[in-house]
Amino acid sequence: MMASSKKRLFLKSIGVTGLLSSLCPIGTALAQLRVEIAGVGANQIPIAIGQFWDDPAGENQITAIVAADLQRSGLFRVIPSNDLIRETGTIDDSFWKSKGADALLGGSLNRADGRIEIRYRLHDTAKGVALTASGLKVNPQFIRLAAHRVADDVFEKLTGIRGPFATRIAYVARTGNEYRLEIADSDGENAFAAFRDSEPVISPAWSPDGSKIAYVSFGPKKPVVYVQELATRQRFAVANFKGSNSAPAWSPDGRRLAIALARDGLTQIHMVNADGTDLRRILTSNAIDTEPCFAPDGEAIYFTSDRSGSPQIYRMSPSGGEVRRVTFNGGYNISPAISPDGKLLSYISRRDGRFQVYVLELPNGQESRLSDGPSDESPSFAPNSRYIMYASKSGGRANLSVVAVDGSARYTLNAKASTIREPAWGPFTK
């Protein structure tokens, strides 16, 4: 039976507790999106979003998705409007400024040859100029993805930061005795099961190009590391050795995996090619060393070890060598995750009996607590490094929560019928 949290040391890598085989659609597992924005106030950018002309869904789907994305980020105050605003024509800046809007988004949709063309314009009402005027064509089934891309463009034009909305997430869902590795849009929609089984699955990890997922399956009645191609539905074992095989982490070039193996006794960190060849041990100690993750430049691996008597996070070269301790506050720190820009380390720390998400600014050592639950786990950064997704509990149910790295905004993706945990936020893709 799956344990409720990482209360025991290194649950992911030891596999001592029970913690899926084809790609097939399922009902959306995440629903009832709740937005909880805190501490932003006047810092939010007020933007009016008009209704897109000729929305083929008949329910202003583009407008609704873009508005939800921007509001969820915590950086925008969306001013709803029933006005139909085209991507061309004159804009009355004084009218929109009277509504409190610093920016205005509008556009139209056209259908031809079975595809949908979305054209849109983002307008600065203070300067009276267009910030972007663009368009894209998609097949009807990808209209939600197209709306996320519009939101990404707006986010970047107004903040200077790449938007995270057109990305995907992976997580483990459980309903009854069935475990599923699910893939969904960043807002929890369009979920499908990449793998399902009656045995547990843990530790999903995206390849850098987003085409594959590594994970640990207990299907063979022991923890085994697999890599699965999402497009072809094929999977293969990359680590099926004696003892526990666990905690896969991709190298930034996608050619190798760092994994934790107990084949020689204590769990230790090894390196293996992504096709399962050339296994080699990169660290030898008298401690449990596990949960590796690569720095984005590939020059370091962060990992969890109890070599100091309690679990803490350490850093070393991928080729081995000197080990340096990174976390010093708190007596129990696990589950390291490095931001894609390499500036932040997130982890779970147990303090006063509560397991919560912390973030450490690596350049200056400044630490902040980002969550307030009693049993939070598995932090994972958005690809733009500005948000962290983690597993949390509310009302006795496990959910996925997202918090801005500065703590200014948060929201929760509530499971409608499943227990969900072990989130992994996917990379940017083309």
Q: Using the 8-state DSSP alphabet, how is residue 375 labeled?
A: B
Statement to judge: residues 201 and 129 lie in one domain = no
CA 1 to chain CA centroid, Å, is 25
In a domain, residue 57? The reply is yes
Among the ranges given (6-10, 128-132, 259-263, 266-270), the one the predictor scored with the smallest mean pLDDT: 6-10
Is residue 20 predicted with pLDDT exceeding 50? no
Statement to judge: residues 289 and 198 lie in one domain = yes
- Say whether 85 sits in a helix, a strand or coil: coil
Q: How far apart are CA 212 and CA 206, in angstroms?
A: 6
Please give the pLDDT value at position 57.
52
- Residue 382: what are its φ and ψ, rounded to 5°? -65, 155
CATH number of the domain residue 395 falls in: 2.120.10.30
Residue 124 corresponds to which tokens in the numbers above?
């600065």
Q: What is the mean pLDDT of the chain?
A: 88
| Selected residue with higher pLDDT from 1 and 113 | 113
Statement to judge: residues 146 and 288 lie in one domain = no
Cβ 218 vs Cβ 199: under 8 Å: yes
In a domain, residue 296? The reply is yes
Please give the pLDDT value at position 139.
92
Helix (H) / strand (E) element for 69: namely: helix 61-73
Strand-pair category, 103-112 with 45-51: parallel
Whole domain around residue 28: which residue ranges?
A: 11-33+168-425
Statement to judge: residues 150 and 68 lie in one domain = yes
Split at pLDDT 50, 70, 90, the class of 25 is: very low
Statement to judge: residues 75 and 20 lie in one domain = no
Statement to judge: residues 312 and 333 lie in one domain = yes
Statement to judge: residues 257 and 351 lie in one domain = yes
Please give the pLDDT value at position 417.
63
pTM: 0.90
- Final residue before a domain boundary, out of 159, 188, 215: 159
Statement to judge: residues 83 and 139 lie in one domain = yes
Statement to judge: residues 188 and 287 lie in one domain = yes
Statement to judge: residues 143 and 190 lie in one domain = no
- Final residue before a domain boundary, out of 139, 159, 179: 159
Give per-residue pLDDT as tens, 268-292: 999 999 999 999 999 889 999 999 9
Statement to judge: residues 224 and 328 lie in one domain = yes
Give per-residue pLDDT as tens, 279-329: 999 988 999 999 999 999 999 999 999 999 999 999 999 988 899 999 999
CATH number of the domain residue 110 falls in: 3.40.50.10070
Cβ 418 vs Cβ 198: under 8 Å: no
Q: How many domains does the chain have?
A: 2
Residue 419 corresponds to which tokens in the numbers above?
């227990």
Statement to judge: residues 182 and 116 lie in one domain = no
Instruction: Determine the average pLDDT of the residues in 209-216.
Output: 98
- Final residue before a domain boundary, out of 138, 159, 180: 159
